[in-house]
Amino acid sequence: MTPSSTTKAPAKKKKAARKPKGPKVIKVPEHTVEIVSDAGEGAQRCAQIFGRVSAKMGNGTWTVEIIPAEIQPPARTPPSASGNRIRLGTKPVTNWGDAANLVMAFNEQVLLHRHRLGALADGCTILIESMWETHEDEDIRKEWATAMEELDGHNYKFVKVPMEEQCLTLVENPRRGKNMFVLGILSYIYSRDVERARHQIAHDFRKKSKEVVDANVALLDLGYKWAEEHLDFRIEVPIEKPTKPMVVMNGNQAIAIGGIASGMELCSMYPITPATSASHYLSDIFEDYGGIVHQAEDEIAAVGVAIGASYAGKVAFTITSGPGLALKSEFLGLAVMTEMPLVVVDVQRGGPSTGLPTKVEQADLLATIFGQPGDAPHVVMAPATMEECFLCMTTARRIAEAFRTVVIVLTDANLATGVQPFPRPAVTADWIAHPLDLSPVSEGALPYDWDAKTGLSKRIIPGQPGGMYTVTGLAHDENSKVAYQPDINQRGHEMRSRKMAVLQQTLQPPKVYGPDKGDLLVVGWGSTQGAIEEAVDRARDEGLSVSSLHLRFLSPLEPGLKEIFKRFKKVLTIEIGYSDDKDAPFVTDDNRRRGQLTWLLRAHTLVDVDCWGRVPGEPLRPAAIHETIRGFMPNGDK
Amino acid sequence: MIQFGGGCSLLGAGTDDDRSWSMQDYEGALPRWCPGCGDHAVLTAVQRLCEDEQLPPEETVFVSGIGCSSRFPHYMKTYGFHGLHGRALPVATGVKLRRPDLHVFAVMGDGDCCSIGAGHWIHTTRYNPNIVAIMLDNGVYGLTKNQTSPTSPKGTKSNTAPRGALLAGMNPISTTISVTNASFVAQTGDWLPDHIYATLKKALDHKGFSFVRILQRCPAYTDNLFADAMRDPNRVELLLHPNGISVPDLEQIYKNHTYHDPADRVNAHRLAEEDGKFRLGLFYQNEDAPVYEEVRAVPLKTAEEKLEILNRELDRHAV
């Protein structure tokens, strides 16, 4: 992938505005900023505040974390790079874009890391800490010089910033202050509302002393002042005030508040990246709502406690990532077998095994659908945006209860940590359904009183007189009595499976993005929607006949897929997940390992769906998808 | 006002105050354990206890794992949860955590509790939910047909150790006593129905995680496990104390008595580790250990109240 060659040229520099001595104001419809430091220097914090302030001012915003797996890897090494990309736009932004137009780098090594990943646009403006160039340590001076040679030849525009020197005028340990100084510079460049930034600092440091808040605000102001005095440019991404009320949050926060809005009162979890921040947020606020986060001794106990609570009438959720999901499999099978409502959130990361703990992938799809030994029909759904992260929790709980089944919500590290504004959800009290239905049970009521057609039945909850029965993971009849007879086992399977058919019939066919027939249909799911649609737009602008389709329900699959697929000459899945390229050595049509969504769609529709998947440990860039679309056009390029 | 999850309002759902229950009212399906299995004695003692305590069947939950003993809930006419091998305790914790109004029992075997579910055993002891945990320890995997269990004594022959177990069996009593927040640890034997009853009664009265190990034979595979103890009263030692478990008739049969204050954790541990005798009674009790569902109790909110707080939270995120 060489996105820098396909990205747009950097914003054109206009001639200096009317005021002869003022800075040039470069007006652009969108701009992508990266802030990178050594892990522990606070670039994350700086970027989060910058992103939130930008979103709250009304810019379209999408942020992506750049995060090492360790807390503090060796400083001044490329893998230590930690920070964030923030893509700002006048219009809503749906993905992280291709390459950065402006970078704030705390040293040249972390900058190199981004450069080597092709994350910097040709002509990118780079504001960099200047102390390393003249550092007293000769090795560091050499490293700087070598890095500068490597960075040469890409039209990067360097602005050297004496971050340390400036911060030392206010604080003793600049490692703890540079990030706010940098936030000040960015606030100047992008004309951010400084009062809002101060407010956000006060909120983010609310658990620290007033001195800490004041020091950080002073550093912000210092950065702003320095930029005002030293920079000869500003960048304007015009703001179009949104017409409806909006909120700004990342996907994990949306999952957490969405869980609360759904009326669930227990999140039982075990710490795992990148799911944990949802439970941090919940731990902070859940008790105000009568809910709790239970941190269990392991992933298995976490789901066990959730199932216990659910059995007792309080539908609960658990939140995990791939390795945790693997450990929960046996309990998920039990929940399906006993028809216990349960919501499981899997915030996907790179796999297999420990894989890429902090980075995005979409490779748990088949494991979530088929990961339980035995036939265990249940629901798998995938939000595509932060807004859907919020909304899907109530949907998930409703389905789990109405269908007495397990609902797995698949998000990923990109959604989890990305910040995006979205219309404020209009939650009403009936979303927050009463957590317990203890309406009387008639004597002799059956715990699995399956409706012969739909397989649906009413759940009996402990505390209800006359309803006493024993749940079991063994094969059982309507009375929950252990039964090994062939006809009873067959019927139990039919009833559990039938519910999925009933649910599927209530789903809407997916909407095609673009014309509903043509040469190529790109199919995706989860966090890639924005990047895919942006790439489709670019391809259509070139005259290519391409549309896309994004799935929310993966099990059962949404209706009408075969009919939609037939209207296109070719169907291609795009996923952040591994699949063999067609022309790889030894790979034939006979042995090619296709993408996970491809497996599903081929089996489901009998259409010869092709695939393209990559595992870069970062979100897909629209440019890469655009290039892929060109390569996969059924009639060749154009 | 603090209300536990579930809340007292649930208790009245359709019940009459003047109901009463006999032992038969707690009898579920006909037990399918082997004749002579110690599980029968435990089941009877539990049903007797339910009657004496008049536990409303609909407010009583038996959670189990997998194994012979884990069929237990099916044989009770209460609510039951027959779940996964080794995982009775997380499920029981989940029930109790959000429904403290229910009486929760967890029934496990030795493989269930001390092997595949060992992590949950340690951690549930530390959470200390108000649950009666009954560990039916026959030193063998019976349902899967005679494999060595973590409590099988050294030298015990089985299908997985045909030349005898190479390792000494682990000690569930001293292990439990050692766990932070352990609050109730007792031992009884399947051949002593009155002692089982007295022990379970004490366990039910205790507020916290009551761990009861029941020594028992498997008539199919470990018939002689406690033969010594049953034949020779001299091999048994009763732990006695005013705060302990008392069955006066037994004190006439078993002459070895040790006066042991269950509040004395160090002595409890020493007695649990000391070889030579089968010690029955209350090893350890700490009534002051924090109880998990109480530590985690939060005031419940109505949907309207939640909505109000939720809207304030959304304001914080507003553009």
Shortest CA distance from B314: residue in chain A: A247
- pLDDT by residue (tens digit) across B109-167? 999 999 999 999 999 999 999 999 999 999 999 999 999 999 999 999 999 999 999 99
Q: Judge whether A441 lies within some domain.
A: no
Task: Grade residue B17 by pLDDT with cuts at 50, 70 and 90.
Answer: low
Rg, Å, chain A Cα set = 26
Question: What is the 8-class DSSP label of residue B21?
Answer: -
For residues A252 and A127, state if they share a domain: no
pLDDT the model gives residue B43: 98
Domain count, chain A: 4
pLDDT the model gives residue B224: 85
Q: Do A438 and B97 touch (CB under 8 A)?
A: no
Six token digits for residue A149: 């040679």
Mutation for testing the B interface, residue in A468, A479, A482, A484 having most B CBs under 10 Å: A468
Contacts of A246 in chain B (CB under 8 A): 318-319
CATH number where A595 lies:
3.40.50.920
Q: Do B314 and A257 touch (CB under 8 A)?
A: yes
Residues A185, A226: Cα–Cα separation, whole Å: 7
Q: Do A432 and B95 touch (CB under 8 A)?
A: no
Contacts of B6 (CB under 8 A, 6+ apart): A312, A313, A314, A436, A463, B98, B99, B100, B101, B102
Q: Judge whether A482 lies within some domain.
A: yes
Q: Do A248 and B319 touch (CB under 8 A)?
A: yes
Q: Do B91 and A430 touch (CB under 8 A)?
A: no
State yes or no: pLDDT of B9 exceeds 60. Answer: no
Q: Judge whether A428 lies within some domain.
A: no
Contacts of B211 (CB under 8 A, 6+ apart): B125, B133, B135, B172, B176, B182, B184, B185, B186
Contact B89, A267 (CB under 8 A): no
pLDDT the model gives residue A446: 96
Question: Which percentage of chain A shows pLDDT scores above 70?
Answer: 96
Q: Do A470 and B81 touch (CB under 8 A)?
A: yes
Write down the residue that tokens 């000869």 correspond to. Answer: A232
Task: Grade residue A636 by pLDDT with cuts at 50, 70 and 90.
Answer: low
Q: Judge whether A637 lies within some domain.
A: no
Q: Is B63 left (phi over 0), alpha (psi -120 to 50) or beta?
A: beta
- Choose among A289, A463, A473: nearest Cβ to B58: A463
For residues A68 and A128, state if they share a domain: yes
3-state DSSP assignment of residue B29: coil
- Choose among A248, A312, A421: nearest Cβ to B99: A312
Contacts of A330 in chain B (CB under 8 A): 84
Q: Do B84 and A266 touch (CB under 8 A)?
A: no
Task: Grade residue B4 by pLDDT with cuts at 50, 70 and 90.
Answer: very low
Q: Judge whether A14 lies within some domain.
A: no
First to last CA, chain A: 21
For residues A186 and A265, state if they share a domain: no
Which one of A506, A529, A548 terminates a domain?
A: A506
Q: Residue by residue, what is the 3-state secondary structure of A458-514?
A: CCCCCCCCCCCCEEECCCECCCCCECCCHHHHHHHHHHHHHHHHHHHHHCCCCCEEC
Residues A597, A380: Cα–Cα separation, whole Å: 13
Q: Do B98 and A301 touch (CB under 8 A)?
A: no
Q: What is the pTM assigned to this prediction?
A: 0.94
Distance from CA of B29 to the nearest CA of A (A): 9
Contacts of B95 in chain A (CB under 8 A): 308-309, 311-312, 462
Q: Is A263 left (phi over 0), alpha (psi -120 to 50) or beta?
A: left
Contacts of A58 in chain B (CB under 8 A): 319
Q: Do B90 and A301 touch (CB under 8 A)?
A: yes
DSSP annotation string for B139-183: SEETTTTSEE-TTPPTT---SS-TT--SSPPP-HHHHHHHSTT--
DSSP annotation string for A559-612: TTHHHHHHTEEEEEEEESS----TTSTT--TTT----HHHHHHHHHH----EEE
Question: What is the 8-class DSSP label of residue A614?
Answer: -
For residues A388 and A496, state if they share a domain: no
Q: What is the mean pLDDT of residues A451-459?
A: 96
Distance from CA of A359 to the nearest CA of B (A): 25
Six token digits for residue A66: 């750049």
Contacts of B101 in chain A (CB under 8 A): 463
Burial class (CB in 10 A: 0-12, 13-18, 19+), A75: middle
Q: What is the mean pLDDT of residues B176-186?
A: 98
pLDDT the model gives residue B14: 46
Q: Do B102 and A242 touch (CB under 8 A)?
A: no
State yes or no: pLDDT of A3 exceeds 70. Answer: no
Contact A348, A374 (CB under 8 A): no
Contact A80, A38 (CB under 8 A): yes
pLDDT the model gives residue A311: 97
Contacts of A466 in chain B (CB under 8 A): 14, 58
For residues A543 and A460, state if they share a domain: no
Which one of A236, A269, A286 terminates a domain?
A: A236
Length reported for chain A: 638
For residues A143 and A282, state if they share a domain: no
Residues A534, A541: Cα–Cα separation, whole Å: 11
- pLDDT by residue (tens digit) across A277-317? 999 999 999 999 999 999 999 999 999 999 999 999 999 99
Q: What share of chain A is helix, strand, coil (3-state, %, to 5)?
A: 40, 20, 40
Residues A383, A556: Cα–Cα separation, whole Å: 15
Task: Grade residue B10 by pLDDT with cuts at 50, 70 and 90.
Answer: very low
State yes or no: pLDDT of A153 exceeds 50. Answer: yes
Q: What is the mean pLDDT of residues A474-503?
A: 97
pLDDT the model gives residue A424: 97
Q: Which domain holds residue A467?
A: 446-506
- pLDDT by residue (tens digit) across A82-124? 999 999 999 999 999 999 999 999 999 999 999 999 999 999 9
Q: Judge whether A215 lies within some domain.
A: yes
- pLDDT by residue (tens digit) across A530-587? 999 999 999 999 999 999 999 999 999 999 999 999 999 999 999 999 999 999 999 9
Burial class (CB in 10 A: 0-12, 13-18, 19+), A233: middle
- Choose among A245, A308, A465: nearest Cβ to B92: A308
Residues A513, A532: Cα–Cα separation, whole Å: 10
pLDDT the model gives residue B11: 42
Q: Do B93 and A308 touch (CB under 8 A)?
A: yes
Q: Do A468 and B313 touch (CB under 8 A)?
A: no
Contacts of B76 in chain A (CB under 8 A): 470
State yes or no: pLDDT of A11 exceeds 60. Answer: no
For residues A312 and A398, state if they share a domain: yes
Contacts of A629 (CB under 8 A, 6+ apart): A520, A522, A535, A536, A539, A544, A546, A572
For residues A533 and A565, state if they share a domain: yes
Task: Grade residue B16 by pLDDT with cuts at 50, 70 and 90.
Answer: low
Q: What is the mean pLDDT of residues A367-377?
A: 97
Contacts of B15 in chain A (CB under 8 A): 465
For residues A400 and A251, state if they share a domain: yes
Q: Judge whether A8 lies within some domain.
A: no
Shortest CA distance from B304: residue in chain A: A429
For residues A384 and A257, state if they share a domain: yes
Task: Grade residue A72 by pLDDT with cuts at 50, 70 and 90.
Answer: confident
Which one of A487, A506, A525 terminates a domain?
A: A506
- Choose among B6, B78, B301: nearest Cβ to A468: B78
Shortest CA distance from A244: residue in chain B: B319
For residues A77 and A190, state if they share a domain: yes
A-B interface: how many C-beta pairs under 8 angstroms? 221
Residues A539, A547: Cα–Cα separation, whole Å: 9
Q: Do B310 and A55 touch (CB under 8 A)?
A: no
For residues A315 and A342, state if they share a domain: yes
The complex's ipTM works out to 0.95
Distance from CA of A619 to the nearest CA of B (A): 25
- Delineate the domains of chain B, giving CATH numbers in brackets: 19-316 (3.40.50.970)
Q: What is the mean pLDDT of residues B216-228?
A: 88
Contacts of A467 in chain B (CB under 8 A): 58, 79
State yes or no: pLDDT of A457 exceeds 60. Answer: yes
Mean per-residue pLDDT of chain A = 94
Six token digits for residue B50: 């339910």
- pLDDT by residue (tens digit) across B27-76? 999 999 999 999 999 999 999 999 999 999 999 999 999 999 999 999 99
Residues A351, A323: Cα–Cα separation, whole Å: 8
Residues A63, A69: Cα–Cα separation, whole Å: 18
Q: Do A308 and B91 touch (CB under 8 A)?
A: yes
pLDDT the model gives residue A12: 46
> What's the Cα-to-Cα distance from B110 to each of B113, B143, B313, rounded to whole Å?
5, 12, 48
Q: What is the mean pLDDT of residues A335-343?
A: 98
Residues B72, B39: Cα–Cα separation, whole Å: 8
Q: Judge whether A76 lies within some domain.
A: yes
Q: Do A440 and B101 touch (CB under 8 A)?
A: no
Write down the residue that tokens 């603090």 correspond to. Answer: B2
Task: Grade residue B1 by pLDDT with cuts at 50, 70 and 90.
Answer: very low
Contacts of B311 in chain A (CB under 8 A): 427
